[in-house]
Amino acid sequence: MTNITLSIDDEVYKKMRGYSEIKWSEYVRKIIEMRINELDKIEKLPRHESILNMLASEKSLKKDWDNEADERWNDV
């Protein structure tokens, strides 16, 4: 199994610690797996736009994803 590292806001981490009964690594693994399965299904649809093209297309995402909360990620 491969390991990855991700950053979490300090406040979120503090709240996560309040739910110590949840195995957060397992939760994240399952969520990632679910998303990969969804993307695989999209890729198999006939006449679909490639998911990689969609993700690379700033215009297609901008109308739904452009908001002030996302602005903080522009310089990351």
Domain boundaries, the chain: 23-62
Query: Which residue, among 73, 55, 76, has the nearest Cα to 64 in the 3D structure?
Result: 55
Mean pLDDT of the chain: 78
Low-confidence ranges of the chain (pLDDT < 50): none
- What pLDDT, on the 0 to 100 scale, is given for residue 56? 59
CA distance 74 to 70: 7
What is the pLDDT, as a whole number, of residue 26?
94
End-to-end CA distance of the chain: 28
In this structure, are residues 24 and 16 in contact, taking their beta carbons and an 8 Å threshold?
A: yes
| Residues with Cβ within 8 Å of residue 54, at least 6 apart in sequence | 60, 61
pTM across the whole model = 0.56
The pLDDT assigned to 39 comes to 83
Residue 44 confidence (pLDDT): 79
